[in-house]
Amino acid sequence: MMQNSSVENTKFGSINSIRIGDKLLDLTIPVVMGILNVTPDSFYKESRDKSTSGTLEKAREMISFGATIIDIGGYSTRPGADDISIEEETERVIPIIEVLRAEFPEVLISIDTFRSHVAEKAILAGANIINDISGFEIDPKIVDVAAKYNVPYILMHMRGTPKTMQTMTDYKNIFKDVSLYFSKKIAELKKAGVNDIILDPGFGFAKTIEQNYELLNNLEAFQLFEKPILAGLSRKSMIYKKLGITPEESLNGTIALNAIALKKGAQLLRVHDVKEAVELIDLLK
């Protein structure tokens, strides 16, 4: 699934690979990250599941449709989500990671957590990537875990916590503020020994609908950091609230915004609907 890649500009993003262990993940053609929520309360009900069998079936389907990465999360990050214990989050995600790693040795697994304990347990169980929505604001030790195990770190922009973030949308200039955030955080990560970094602007996290679209329309400017860009737009409120529909009715909107993101340099799409995202990438090759 991973192969060597030269570094040169393409019609997609400007960064063509990222190191994962002793290999390079080729990003010449964008890749799809499938969302696998091991939670009972994610905003999109079709992605909710606490049973191992149901979650594994979803993962198998995503892989069969062409997902390169499976992103496993046991803590709901929807706006206003309630807190759960570290122990409960760990108990939700580790069994799934272990079974997936055994069944699909080549698939890449991302752990969607902001807690260092959960991240470390997940890596030891077979995860390859840390996806931290908090930019190590909630648990700074997660950076040490990424450095210790030499795994890529997805740096997302957010303010506050999932419970408080939507009260923290006051920016002087959203693009400038997010850029300054990335600049500061990248320097801190490199100082800690984390060099394999993916940037996620954090659509829907501590941002109004208008701010989300401003970031999307300027997404290509984030290539100045020379890091791969991840777009997580799937079925989010910037789609369904703008259209006056539900998350369940937001697939068409998701595809449309993902197409814009790809044209503006995104090299990873984090989605609930893997088949449609893979087809979109194929059409834009």
List residues with catalytic annotation: 236, 270
Amino acid at 238: M
The DSSP code sequence of 98-144 is HHHHHH-TTSEEEEE-S-HHHHHHHHHHT--EEEETTTTSS-THHHH
Q: Which helix (H) or strand (E) holds 31?
A: strand 31-37
| 248 beta partners | none
The pair of three-digit structure tokens given for residue 171, joined into one six-digit string: 């920016």
230-231 sheet: strands from edge to edge: 197-200, 153-156, 129-132, 108-112, 69-73, 31-37, 268-271, 230-231
Q: Which DSSP letter does residue 82 get?
A: P
The distance from CA 279 to its chain's CA centroid, rounded to whole angstroms, is 19
